[in-house]
Amino acid sequence: MQGSAQELSGFDLDDYRKMFSLTDRELKKNILDCGARQSSFNAQINKIGGNVVSVDEWYQQDFKTIEKNSKLATQNTLEFIRDNAKDYYNFDQKIDHSKKHQHALDLFLNSYEKGAKTGTYVNYDLSKMPFKDCQFDLALCSHLLFDVRGNLEIEHYQSIIEELSRIATEVRIFPLNNIHGVPYEHLGELMLDWQNKNFRIEVQETEFNSPKFGNAMLRIWNTECHI
């Protein structure tokens, strides 16, 4: 389980804020970070008293292997950013991506072992998780669904979104474009389907503006969850 060179990972709190338009108020809510891998979002928010649970099959590995593969994943992401800077990350040339991703990796690794014991890093399959209905206020999917997996059948996304919208009041997904800059081809069909199931669903502009990945997230509200 090493992750592919085309999967970007290791994003931090600042990236998550921009990808999901998260406000300070929302950051205090119960949040599920889906497919979190070596993101530092969990470590950064829980350190200041927040409530983030990260879920990923990545966490089935022992800590030494997680450490080794997370370092590799960060290295792959940094190589990709370096080789594709203009197409993917020219929205802010001032950022030292290497320092930023290395820092995120350190925060993740330093928080992991304790978090795995206390249940803030958990290994479940996203399409079936042992959480209660509406247990979370927000479920966030960063660089997980449509970007590298944009060629999978619509049923794959439906089953994951169905489970996420069972356990969370709201689901947010970023990006909606795949790594080649192409929007997920069945997005319209998927949105119509969720509207028909009595969910609210919309595409919303975000601050994370990458020429290829775009600047839009998908929001899905579960009208059955009471806030």
In angstroms, the CA 19 to CA 1 distance is: 26
43 binds ligand SAM (CB under 6 A): no
162 binds ligand SAM (CB under 6 A): no
Amino acid identity of residue 5, one-letter, is: A
> 10 vs 150, which CB is nearer to ligand SAM?
10
66 binds ligand SAM (CB under 6 A): no
Total chain residues near ligand SAM (CB under 6 A):
18
Give the other-Cβ count within 10 Å of 156's Cβ.
Answer: 12
Q: How far is the CB of 155 from ligand SAM (least distance, A)?
A: 13
Stretch that binds ligand SAM, among 29-37, 164-172, 197-205, 214-222 (CB under 6 A): 29-37
37 binds ligand SAM (CB under 6 A): yes
Q: Report strand pairing: 121-122 vs 51-55.
A: parallel
163 binds ligand SAM (CB under 6 A): no
In angstroms, the CA 153 to CA 225 distance is: 28
11 binds ligand SAM (CB under 6 A): yes
60 binds ligand SAM (CB under 6 A): no
131 binds ligand SAM (CB under 6 A): no
> 113 vs 226, which CB is nearer to ligand SAM?
113
**Residue 186: phi, psi to the nearest 5?**
-105, 25
Q: Which of 138, 74, 99 is closest to 14 using CA atoms?
A: 99
Q: Which of 226, 227, 218 is closest to 195 using CA atoms?
A: 218
